[in-house]
Amino acid sequence: MRRPALILAIMLAFAAPADAAGPRFLPWNNGTTASEPETQVQRIDADTFVIRQSIRTNFEAPFLYLLFGSDRALLIDSGAGGLRIRPTVEALIAGWLASHKRTSIPLTVAHSHGHGDHHEGDSEFANRPDTTVVGLTPQEVAQAFGIRNWPEDIAIFDLGGRPVSIIPTPGHEPAHIMVHDPQTRLILSGDMLYPGRIYVPTDQYATFIASADRLAGFARRHRIDALLGAHIEMTTTPGKDYGYRDTSHPNEHPLALPPDAIARIAAAARQTASNPVNSNQGDFILFPRPPAP
């Protein structure tokens, strides 16, 4: 890890403004510069941080999210490997603790879902003091967050003065969840809804549709300004995505999707239920594919 580059990325990101339509970010590292750091951090508010793993360390270039409450911190995803992610997380925790004149805070490491590009860094946190690493199965996720009836129930996980909703959304993957944060009015939407290819195994299509309908019902009851997912795979040209395993993403689509993307993905899934085919929505592509062997 190149510590000076990491610190510079964090300092620059603190200047990023926000508005009622959701966060506005500085340009993300996108593989077009050979010297880009392994991680880039941008701040949504004083208690909410977005970490992007460089596409030069792994073509998935996932986004991770770190949220602080008064009682605990929540890290959503631990990266795709190819680097050590914990130093970036530790730097953010240390900065938050210093600004609050504290010496420690418990950390929960959870996952948007169980695919490998979202949990490769778990081993770095396995022996960290006062840290819980949530498992990868639906049963482990349900137990960790107190979800009694998976996937129908929506649980509240209180970080301490900051209750977030844990929304089960299986379909893309059996243990997939989304996190709604009323403090920022954001949904952290993992791999179910982001500017890219939304892969759905065809044998899980009914499950995915039920999750999309559950999410749409939640959205009707809560204020949501934007959705932040786990990847960017679309360009600024509507409907045009990058190639699979591309290691450079010039002209990336913004990370945030508007709230109406929820209704659009639910409608697209229902419309293709009897014949799952690609549905290009301009800022994301519903992308059915055969089940993995």
Which tens digit of pLDDT belongs to each residue from 131-157? Answer: 999 999 999 999 999 999 999 999 999
Q: Rounded to whole angstroms, how far apart are CA atoms 50 and 75?
A: 10
**pLDDT value for 4:** 37
- Tell me which residue has tokens 């490769």: 120
* Cα 44 from chain centroid (whole Å): 14
Residue 50, pLDDT > 80, answer yes
99-to-40, 47, 92, 195 alpha-carbon distances in Å:
21, 11, 11, 34
> For the segment 232-242, what is each residue's pLDDT rounded down to a tens digit?
999 999 999 99
First CA to last CA across the chain, in angstroms? Answer: 36
Q: Model's pTM, two decimal places?
A: 0.93
Q: How many angstroms separate the CA atoms of 48 and 66, rounded?
A: 6
User: Treating both helix axes as pointing N-terminal to C-terminal, what angle do 260-271 and 205-221 enclose, rounded to 10 degrees?
Assistant: 150
Q: Give 3's pLDDT tier (boundaries 50, 70, 90).
A: very low
Domain definitions of the chain by residue range: 3-289
Mean of the per-residue pLDDT values of the chain: 93
Measured CA to CA in angstroms, residue 6 lies from 17, 61, 99, 156, 199 at distances of 20, 16, 19, 33, 32
pLDDT at residue 21 in the model: 57
DSSP code of residue 76: E
**How far apart (Å, rounded) are the C-alpha atoms in residues 2 and 9?**
11
The predicted-structure confidence for 110-131, as pLDDT tens digits, reads as follows 999 999 999 999 999 999 999 9
Fold of 3-289: Metallo-beta-lactamase; Chain A (3.60.15)
Percent of the chain at pLDDT above 90? 91
